[in-house]
Amino acid sequence: MKDKLNIDINITLPNFGKIKKKVKRVIRDVKYDVAAIRDRDPAATSDLEVMLLYSGFHAVQAHRAAHALHKKGHKFSARAISQFAKFLTGIEIHPGATIGRGLVIDHGSGVVIGETAEIGDNCTLYQGVTLGGTGKDSGKRHPTLGDNVMVGSGAKVLGPFKVGNGAKIASNAVVLEAVPEKATAVGVPARVVRINGVKINDDLDHVHIPDPVAQEICRVERRIYELEKKFNEKEEK
């Protein structure tokens, strides 16, 4: 009886230790996420407010639970959690997506993050952001964001490429190709206009060339303006 008791204790204690470590890690991550929101959102007045009233925080915490289940093969349960979180917050994050620490989803209604998307540490997403696919790829279909990336409201990042550390994507931009580190991308389709705060010299840039469609539209508009001007002059005579 004594030997059996010793065996039971030896088996139970390591499991309890693992649970304790997991709980500590979860608490540490939650505190980090709260601190990230306090740091980047001037409207946040207290930790309690963030934990109880911020839908972006709720969506990220629900995803962490769903992702843990997804990794263990409980895909239906994981999906159920993600859909319930979407119903509550308006933010849809697939359980398969990988998210680092300190993600801030500010005013996050309409945010969509795809299954194979990867997000680094200390990133910020605003309302209406989509990290999606183009429908042409298989396997890795969604983008990878490095650390400290900011994606503005309504921006769409579509495809299995990387957005480098410290990059910024402007509101309503549509990003279809890789963005370098510390670059700023704007427009539809998005083009890089600054790298590390320095404006790109268009004369030396052989990648982000002027858009020929936009140039042709400008020529047509100019021609219409000139024709209208001549027509008005003839009418006056």
pLDDT at 205 over 80: no
pLDDT at 47 over 80: yes
Mean of pLDDT over the chain: 85
Does 235 fall in a domain? no
Write out pLDDT tens, residues 8-29. Answer: 445 444 566 677 777 888 888 8
What CATH number corresponds to the domain at position 151?
Answer: 2.160.10.10
Between CA 163 and CA 176 the distance in angstroms is: 10
Alpha-carbon distances, residue 83 vs 34, 87, 114, 206 (angstroms): 23, 6, 13, 44
pLDDT at 204 over 80: no
pLDDT at 222 over 90: no
pLDDT at 138 over 50: yes
pLDDT at 207 over 90: no
At residue 210 the predicted structure's pLDDT band, cuts being 50, 70 and 90, is: low
> Which pTM value belongs to this model?
0.73
**Quick one: average pLDDT of 78-103?**
94
Does 35 fall in a domain? yes
Between CA 91 and CA 112 the distance in angstroms is: 6
Write the DSSP assignment of 123-172 as a string of letters: -EEETT-EEE--SS--SS-S-EE-TT-EE-TT-EEESS-EEPTT-EE-TT
Counting the structural domains of the chain, the total is: 1
Does 193 fall in a domain? yes
Does 219 fall in a domain? no
Does 93 fall in a domain? yes
Residue 144's domain comprises: 2-199
92-95: which pairs have CB atoms within 8 A and are 24 or more residues apart? 93/59, 93/60, 93/62, 93/63, 93/66, 95/63, 95/66, 95/67, 95/69, 95/70
Does 130 fall in a domain? yes
pLDDT at 156 over 60: yes
* Better pLDDT: 18 or 61: 61
